[in-house]
Amino acid sequence: MLEQLLMAFINGILLGGVLALLAFGLNLIFGVVKIIHMAYGQFVMLGFYFIYYFYTAWHLPLLVAMAGGIIVMGLLGMLVQLLIINPLLDAPRLNQLLALASLIIVLENLAQVVWGADYRGIPISMPIIQFGDIFIRSSYLLAFLGAIATLGILYLFLHKTYFGLAIRSVAQDVEMARGMGINPKVIYYITLAAGGALTGVVAAFFIPIYTVHPHFGASFTLMAFVIVVFGGMGNLLGGFISAFIIGVVTSITAVLASTEVADILALVMFILMMMVRPQGILGAKA
């Protein structure tokens, strides 16, 4: 039993890495543009399809296909900014939410028209990492390392570059940033591009784990949303920590009870957090 719990703990840490990776883009976009990207999971789905397409139809090497997918998703992020977010920047919150929610339907149906309703996957045989009776899942380990690397790169980008500084200033106070000569719209474009590219990164790390279909994204949006709100909306580090908490708690609960109970517990924790500390773990009080 102890060994099983240890395995579940390791597994939870790795799962936390996967979840953290998932939540970065949503968090970044909310932090800067103050918009909830309802179609975030669908973006992950599209990223998955693009990588699949580049790999199978154009026969590109997998890593090149992944890079291609990340670039395309970045461009698509900018397109969303241009076509949907820009016209609604000063519109009521509800209008923004509804517009992005309808994007879900557009993207899912688009994927269905282009790639059909079939499940698609790239069969990759990941190496097996084993220490005695302890098995470490290499696909999750990779995503975990990816999450840490991504957090590091995001940190460097936000803190060591001019654009990063501009993004943070817009996130803190749009009017003041404008006064300092920063054009918030340009910053929004960069943020959405980064958010889009991050969905491409998520998709790349998900390739060895999942198969994709047009409705693949929906549950990821919910999961990412829970993590982001739990950690404090717009706070990258908070999201990172909350992903690990949720990963470990669900993983251990699933072993002690069942996966169904674990899913319930994750949402109960979320509701409790909303009641006790609505701003999330590291969020600032509004």
Partner 1 sequence: MRKTIALLAVLAVLAMGLAAPAAAQDKDFKLGVLFSLTGPFAPAGALAGYRGTMVAVDMINARGGIAGKYKVVPVVADAQSNPDVAIREGQRLMTVEKVPVVLGVFSSGIAVPLAPMADRNKKIFWVIIAISDKVVKDRNLKYVFRVQPMGSQWGQSTVKLLNDNFAKFGVKKVQDLKVAIIHEDGPYGSSVSKANKAMAEKYGMKVVLNEAYSHKTKDMSSLILKLKSAKPDAILHTGYFPDVVLFFRQARELGLRTKAIEGHGAGHANMPKLAEAAGGDLMNYCFNVDPAPAQMLDRKKLAPGTGELIGEFLKRYDEKFKVSNPPTHATQGFGHTWILLNDVAPLALKKYGDLSPESIRKASLEIDIPEGGTPCGYGVKFAQPGTALSGQNLRSYPVVVQSINGKLGIAWPAGLQTLSPVIPLPADSPFAEK
The interface with partner 1 within residues 157-216 (CB under 8 A) comprises 208-211, 213-216
Closest CA to 56 of 40, 75, 45, 69: 69
Binder of partner 1 out of 58, 91, 148, 260 (CB under 8 A):
260
Binding status of residue 7 toward partner 1 by CB under 8 A: yes
Of the pair 41, 77, the CB lying nearest partner 1 is at 41
Residue appearing with tokens 């990172």: 240
Binding status of residue 237 toward partner 1 by CB under 8 A: no
Amino acid at site 16:
G
Residue 3 near residue 206 (C-beta atoms within 8 A): no
Q: Is 92 exposed, middle or buried (0-12, 13-18, 19+ CB in 10 A)?
A: exposed
The CA–CA distances, whole Å, from 175 to 183, 204, 284 equal 10, 37, 19
| Nearest distance, CB of residue 274 and partner 1, angstroms | 22
Binder of partner 1 out of 33, 46, 223, 226 (CB under 8 A):
223
116 contacts: CB under 8 Å, gap ≥ 6 = none
Q: Which stretch binds partner 1 (CB under 8 A): 25-33, 161-169, 254-262, 276-284?
A: 254-262
Binder of partner 1 out of 188, 189, 220, 225 (CB under 8 A):
220
> In degrees to the nearest 10, what's the CA dihedral of 176, 36, 92, 90?
40
Q: Which stretch binds partner 1 (CB under 8 A): 42-50, 96-104, 132-140, 163-171?
A: 132-140
| Nearest distance, CB of residue 42 and partner 1, angstroms | 14
The CA–CA distances, whole Å, from 22 to 40, 57, 275, 280 equal 9, 27, 25, 18
114 contacts: CB under 8 Å, gap ≥ 6 = 49
Binder of partner 1 out of 123, 160, 271, 276 (CB under 8 A):
123
| Nearest distance, CB of residue 55 and partner 1, angstroms | 13
Gyration radius (Cα) of the chain, Å = 19
Binding flags for partner 1, 70-109, as an x/- string (CB under 8 A):
---------------------------------------x
Of the pair 135, 155, the CB lying nearest partner 1 is at 135
Of the pair 128, 286, the CB lying nearest partner 1 is at 128
Q: By the criterion CB under 8 A, which residues form the site for partner 1?
A: 1, 4, 7-8, 11, 15, 109, 112, 116-121, 123-126, 128, 130, 135, 137-140, 208-211, 213-216, 219-220, 223, 250-251, 254-255, 258-260, 262-263
